[in-house]
Structure 1
Amino acid sequence: MNGLILVGGRSTRMGTDKSQLAYRHQPQWRYLYELLTPYCQSVFLSCRKDQEESFEGFPRLTDTREIGPLGGLLTAFAHAPHEAWLTVACDMPFIDEETIDLLVKNRQPAQRATAFLNPETRRPEPLLAIWEPESYELIRAQFQQNNFSPLHLMQKGDVHLLPCPRPRWLQNINTPEEWATAVAK
């Protein structure tokens, strides 16, 4: 299994690159890289072409489609189509070792993906998930239909959903106000 840290978003509401925000005295992307490394064979940063210099010296998979997380998944599977991908969005600052450990220990490789069920929305969280190689064809088919939502993929079924014991894990931070609140806690 490989790790994929989704850092390629435009961060328009935040006004600055969310992957570079510090929550634990280091940029979030670096924290996630170190967090995933013990669980994964390799860890990659899924970024845009204009971000590559920000991650110099770290393994990157550059998504040229710029269609959001689905583009990152497509790029990852094109790189290693027969391996699972543990994906983590860079704007989820409350993910910790317990989060990843629970996800990995409950992985169901016979299903398309393993993900947490958000108790607040009652939807799966596709940006903190393990995507199995069997999902690659479905991801490509959805892309060809101009549907770029990883959530829609998960809602098609054959996904192992875990109850999320800490809804805060699934919280994403999108604005300067949300960031200020998150770092104050």
Structure 2
Amino acid sequence: MTAPLYGLLLSGGASRRMARDKAALEYRGEAQLLRAWRLLSGICAQSFVSIRPEQAEDGLRNSLPTLPDRYEAVGPIAGILSAQDAYPDAAWLVLACDLPLLDEKTLHDLVAARAPGIDAIAFRSRFDDLPEPLCAIWEPSSHPFLKERHDAGRFCPRATLKHLRTRLLPPPGNALDNINTPDDFERVSQILERTA
């Protein structure tokens, strides 16, 4: 039997290179966190926003169901493990909150690739052909190895995907281009304006 699919929107990053909260950046008049939430919640049985404990009072984030990290701030792996601990029988569609070009078709393609005997499903990066861990499905069977790597001080989810039984899908064009700097924000804002 296939595990139920829950959504996890990662929003706990510090946004250092952007110098402001990437989740609050607006595209076409809407905060990116809310844009990503709409995509995720339209596909998953339940969805949560992954936060650091100190973000619990943030008005944007706490307007949605949140799931605070239970692990030290070690990047996305803290949010993924926290979600798996909270709902161990669920598969998690994990999504970074800084993917403004992501579309519904890309997520449907990811979900359609689920199959027995697979620990994770991810797209290949269009830049380096490596797995994209922050738009991926982590099945319940991925948890023991992810936890083992965390406990060993290995916090890279991309490296973890390389060691799991991961189904890799072709790159979905520019849908997974993330936004890290003010220049990235301007570039993507222009793309979205042209395609409005």
Report TM bin, short chain: over 0.9
Is the 1:108–1:114 Cα contact (8 Å) retained in structure 2?
no
Shift of 1:82: 1.1
Compare 92-101 and 55-64 and name the one that shifted more: 55-64
Deviations 1:1-57 (A, max 9, x none): 100000000000000111111123211111111111121111100011222222223
What one-letter code is carried by the residue in structure 2 that aligns with 1:7? Answer: S
Letter in 1 for 2:25: L
Cα deviation code 1:99-118 (max 9, x no counterpart): 11111112234211001011
**Separation (CA, whole Å) in 1 of partners of 2:172 and 2:43:** 20
Question: 1:71 aligned to 2:71?
Answer: no
Residues 34-113 of structure 1 correspond to what in structure 2 (within 5 A)? 34-54=38-58, 55-64=61-70, 65-113=72-120
Partner amino acid for 1:51? Q
User: What is aligned with 2:140?
Assistant: 133
- 1:120 is paired with a residue of what secondary structure? coil
Structure 2 gaps of 5+ residues are: 192-196
Mapped contact 1:109–1:132 kept (Cα < 8 A): no
Which residue in 2 is equivalent to 1:179?
185
Q: TM-score, normalised by structure 1?
A: 0.95
Q: Secondary structure at the match of 2:23?
A: helix
- The answer to whether the 8 A contact 1:108-1:160 is kept is no
Structure 1: stretches of 5+ with no match in the other structure: none
Identity of aligned residues (%): 38
AA partner of residue 84 (structure 1): A
Say how many residue pairs are matched: 184
- Helix, strand or coil at the partner of 1:170: coil
Residue 20 (structure 1) aligns with = 24
Using the TM superposition, name which of 136-145 and 35-44 deviates more: 35-44
Q: How far did 1:88 drift?
A: 0.5
Structure 2 length-normalised TM: 0.90
SS at match of 2:180: coil
Pairwise CA RMSD of aligned residues? 1.2
Deviations 1:67-112 (A, max 9, x none): 1100000100011011100011011111111111111112234211
For 2:175, which of 149, 169, 173 is the aligned residue?
169
Q: For residues 149 and 31 of structure 2, what CA distance do their matches in structure 1 show?
A: 33
Contact 2:142–2:164 (8 Å) recurs in 1: no
Cα 1:184–1:59, aligned 2, differ >3 Å: closer, same or farther?
same
